[in-house]
Structure 1
Amino acid sequence: MASKERFVPVFFEVIRNYSLALFKKDLFAGITVGIVAVPLALAFAIASGATPSQGIFTAVIAGFFISFLGGSRYQIGGPTGAFVIIIYGIIAQHGYDGLIIATIMAGIILICLGIARVGSFIKFIPYPVTTGFTAGIGVVIFSSQIKDFLGLTYKETSPEFIDKWISIFSNLSTINISSAAIGAGTVIIILIIRKMSTNIPSHVVAIVISTAACFLLGLNAETIGDRFGTINAVFPSFTVPEVTIEKIRALFPAAITIALLAGIESLLSAVVADGMTGSHHKSNTELIGQGAANILSGFFGCIPATGAIARTATNVRAGGVTPLSGITHAVFLCLFILFFSFLIEIIPMAALAGVLLVVSVDMMGIKNMANLLSSPKSDVVVLLTTFILTIVIDLTAAVQVGVVLAALLFMKRMSDVTSMGKINFDVSEKTAKNIADPDATSNKEIPEGVEVYEINGPFFFGVADMLINTLEHIGKTPKVFILRMRNVPAIDATGEHALENFYNTCKKAGTQLVLSGVNPAPYATLKKMHFIEMIGEENITNHIDKALIRTREILKELE
């Protein structure tokens, strides 16, 4: 029963003691965040290749269920910048139906991750990887908005990063002065308001002022209505896409990327909220809520969504105290698009581009990137590889390669911190360390014909080759080989296999292998993999003294 309660959404826990005072706080915060979410939902959807209404309804549907079924009191969900390039790529390659299928698949993956209780492990994705692809996304978004920011008029022939910039420079002569002025004004207003106060929704104010200026001054700049026509202000219908095995196979890598991005960003957002409020989110429940929200978002023809860090922080600053503030934000957005969609149509595209340029620069995290460049070379390699692949290839490849490269470097580091070597038996050369350690081998009487080696550190696959050819390096074949493992906290299957091969090598050479100082965790692994049956229980000891007693017994038997 207790395990089931861990998956209970936070909403159902806090609603038991809900009050009118709490509702007033959540209502104000929800409306505030809803206002902030309007331009961001529009901008992210348009940049992704979707329609404005799909952006808003994603924030409505996914935002509602992320708050209703999630594991955080403060999380606000909706479209985010992290998804822009992956959505754009899926739509370009597989069409919008492909995006819907990938979104639903990602939702299923997130639910499986939550049920498998891996929410606490997602945070172990290396920081250089998340920084690299986030900064890369920022660069790509920045590049994609220059055309609208300057009001350039040309037909894009390729979505590739380099081709995009070639097209931009080749068509600078088509710049629209009005659009450029609106875009620049939007950026300036955002930056000024940020310096004045963090409590003022700078994106919203900038959009309102830029739109009003464009409308009142009659500036010749393209608007959302000019590009997309009348905004579809009808709530989307529930639709089941046509799914085939071929489509699932083709879209699986993209679905994995969406799921990873949604999981990483939502949990990072929840951690930010915890830091601001002192609360604690339920990571696995949050993943399940994110999964359910994306499945429903897909079935209603919307785009992927996740927890949005900026909107969640706004919710906290506005006084939100329960998931009802997120639900209120979704309801506000729904009412806004149903009854005030005409206001969306007059927003200049250059103003939205200005908002996204600021967002993209924030995502680049130039200061964080600069700091990481002074990190160890291995981290810099992971950072730059992920960053460059995100820009030049795509986000799916960047995440996959980045995680694999980080894992390989982790293996290398694990092998570096684990050592194995022969113990010095010369009592006359006792060090202060050995004198302080009563179990030091130099403090023991080692019989003739016995070799003692010690492993220090985890005995994983990265260090398993340390045992190879050990006997050959010794020279004279010993009668007994004692392998001390007191400083081995864990051993994996590869380490056990190496140990098994080493035992067989000793056996062929006529050497008896004895293990000393085997800790409980490695012992359990060796027992589970039947190594103890092979070597004999009597040859596995938990202390060097017992290992030496067993050694003398073996030597006596050999006489």
Structure 2
Amino acid sequence: MRGYFAPLLPGAADYRRLPRTWRSDLVAGITVGIVALPLALAFGVSSGVGAEVGLITAIIAGIVAAVFGGSNVQVSGPTGAMVVILGPIVAVQGPQVVPLLSLMAGIFVLIAGVLKIGRVVSYIPWPVIEGFTLGIAVIIFLQQVPAAFGVSPGPSTNTLVAVVEALPTVAWPVTATAIATTVAVAAIMVFLPRLNRHIPASLIAIIVVTIVVTVANLPIDRIGQLPSALPAPTFPAVTLPLVATLAGPALTIAALAAIESLLSARVAASISDTGPYDADRELVGQGLASVASGFFGGMPATGAIARTAVNLRSGAQSRLAAIIHSLVLIAVVYLATSAVSLIPLAALAGVLMITAIRMISRSTVRSVITASRSDAAVFVGTAVVTVSFDLIIAVGIGIAAAAFFALRTLAASGGVHREEIRESPQPGDEEIAVFRLDGALFFGAADRMVEEINLISSVSVVILRLSQLQVLDATGARVITELVQSLERRNITVLIKGIQERHLHVATRVGVISALRHQNHLFVDLPAAIEHARSHVRRTRAQQSGAQGHPS
């Protein structure tokens, strides 16, 4: 049991490189902490639970996931995808259920890690992932439109509908101030990195517009009062009916947290030399992070690819960088909450709008769209369903669609080809039909592939060449069995040549071998099978000649 759990727990090896990397980790941690501050505040506000909840989540989840997670450089906290799911739940159930929701979702993710099913994310097709990302980016952008216009979102749980419902409530000059603030933040975030890409543009943008709005005393909504200390951990209020009500949303959040965290960790491992990631341990760490966040009144957390990328670009080499990022945010709570409370909500909307736009890679979209029609259909379909309905439903539909197209392609790769007997042709060869089965013979292609063979006539022997068959499942084996039985009932002898060792078990179990007229009708090479077929034809012709010479 100890050997099973040991890989899922922190160890001294996590910090082996620290004596050589602590300086770069310190710089990276401070940098990503500065970048994470506006995002944490914005995601908290956007989800409906408040800026302080986003900040608490970034602190608590960031530390716990850094210590217990399976990636050396992953930075965790509130993310846009989580906001997309939480928004409708908060609108219906209220913000008071979020800590319990975080606790429940964290337990589900933790169980997935303990059961070691982390590698399942590798089975999600690339077009599904990109379509999912595009859909999330569109939703995040749409969610900020009401704040950018200085109004509250509409009552609908559908983001697009809520935006349409909010627009008639705009009021000038508040709307003009909000739009100007949003545009100013966006402009600074776009143009400042062109001067120096290491400048924390989002933080600079928020500081500048906050100073201008405060000095000019412009009419605009602010974040408002924030706590000047971290809250004490408490167990969320829980009742059985509430747990039953939140079970479905918690599973959805857990699935999203697992998928997003593992994708982020995988991307981080692929673009850095900081070592591989452990998928199962990452789930354990993310599960514990959401559980801890719930105890402190926070929201569910995931690995954040944007902050993780900043961490890597800033030189992070170990977990210390993510831990320092949380310490920077703690310093903000204890030293700067009065200043943070003055930030306009429209400024946070500008940050998230630019963040959403940057989530979409034009080159990636072009690659997916032009790869193939099926990939383009899966990509677009996943994005549309994500925006229109639900994130997890979108992933499920996307995977199902990708599987359908993959099966169709696999089925099309299979084929049946009749071959001529070219070597030393002999009389009677016209009564022998040799068929080569290629590719895949499985439930999606079996009937189509054997249809041609079943229609054969004017032959007395059929040789089935199976050596080129790459895929054979139980359905395919059953179809071969029925084919052999059908031909034998028509007095056509069936010989099987070259069945692969890996297919022999299923062929034997399903009845392919027993359907043959004789066990000797199974051959390893083609010449032996052809010679046996010729002897059968000669014997049959001799019997027919004898019967004609001795009429009854």
Q: TM-score, normalised by structure 1?
A: 0.85
Deviation at 1:190, TM superposition (A): 0.6
- Name the amino acid aligned to 1:310: A
1:238–1:300: 8 Å Cα contact kept in structure 2?
yes
For 1:551 and 1:471, the matched residues in 2 are separated by 17
For 2:153 and 2:263, the matched residues in 1 are separated by 38
Moved more, 102-111 or 257-266: 102-111
Deviation at 1:16, TM superposition (A): 4.5
Deviation at 1:25, TM superposition (A): 3.0
Q: Secondary structure at the residue paired with 1:176?
A: helix
For 2:251 and 2:63, the matched residues in 1 are separated by 23
Tell me the equivalent position of 1:214: 213
Residue from 436, 453, 456 that aligns with 1:454: 436
1:231–1:345: 8 Å Cα contact kept in structure 2?
no
2:72–2:319: 8 Å Cα contact kept in structure 1?
yes
Distance 1:108 1:349, change over 3 A: same
Distance 1:516 1:248, change over 3 A: farther
2:146–2:167: 8 Å Cα contact kept in structure 1?
no
Deviation at 1:352, TM superposition (A): 0.3
Q: Secondary structure at the residue paired with 1:277?
A: coil
Q: Secondary structure at the residue paired with 2:271?
A: helix
Q: What aligned pairs does 1:152-551 form with structure 2 within 5 A after superposition?
A: 152=151, 156-174=154-172, 175-225=174-224, 229-231=225-227, 233-239=229-235, 242=238, 244=240, 248=244, 251-252=247-248, 254-278=249-273, 279-425=275-421, 427=422, 447=429, 449-467=431-449, 469-476=451-458, 478-527=459-508, 532=513, 538-548=520-530, 551=533
Distance 1:47 1:538, change over 3 A: farther
Q: Secondary structure at the residue paired with 1:458?
A: strand
For 1:544 and 1:352, the matched residues in 2 are separated by 73
- Name the amino acid aligned to 1:336: V
- Name the amino acid aligned to 2:208: I
Deviation at 1:414, TM superposition (A): 1.0
Deviation at 1:529, TM superposition (A): 5.5
For 2:82 and 2:284, the matched residues in 1 are separated by 19
Distance 1:240 1:496, change over 3 A: farther
Moved more, 547-556 or 69-78: 547-556
Query: Deviations along 1:283-337, whole A, 9 cap, x unmatched?
Result: 3332332233234334444222221112112212222211122122223323432
Q: Secondary structure at the residue paired with 2:194?
A: helix
For 2:196 and 2:424, the matched residues in 1 are separated by 68
For 2:425 and 2:117, the matched residues in 1 are separated by 46
For 2:287 and 2:507, the matched residues in 1 are separated by 38
1:460–1:495: 8 Å Cα contact kept in structure 2?
yes
For 1:530 and 1:29, the matched residues in 2 are separated by 63
Q: Secondary structure at the residue paired with 1:456?
A: strand
Q: Secondary structure at the residue paired with 2:463?
A: strand
For 1:240 and 1:547, the matched residues in 2 are separated by 74
Q: Secondary structure at the residue paired with 1:157?
A: coil
Deviation at 1:45, TM superposition (A): 1.8
Tell me the equivalent position of 1:15: 15
Deviation at 1:75, TM superposition (A): 0.9
Deviation at 1:495, TM superposition (A): 2.3
For 2:9 and 2:38, the matched residues in 1 are separated by 29
For 1:460 and 1:98, the matched residues in 2 are separated by 48
Q: What aligned pairs does 1:82-121 form with structure 2 within 5 A after superposition?
A: 82-96=81-95, 99-100=98-99, 103-114=102-113, 117-121=116-120
Tell me the equivalent position of 1:430: none
Deviation at 1:4, TM superposition (A): 4.2
Give aligned pairs, total. Answer: 537
For 1:310 and 1:465, the matched residues in 2 are separated by 49
Q: Secondary structure at the residue paired with 2:445?
A: helix
Moved more, 4-13 or 368-377: 4-13
Deviation at 1:502, TM superposition (A): 2.9
For 2:30 and 2:396, the matched residues in 1 are separated by 38
Deviation at 1:65, TM superposition (A): 2.3
For 2:246 and 2:528, the matched residues in 1 are separated by 59
List alignment gaps of at least 5 residues for structure 1: 428-441
For 1:464 and 1:274, the matched residues in 2 are separated by 41
For 2:245 and 2:477, the matched residues in 1 are separated by 36
Distance 1:258 1:483, change over 3 A: farther
Rg: which structure is higher?
Answer: 2
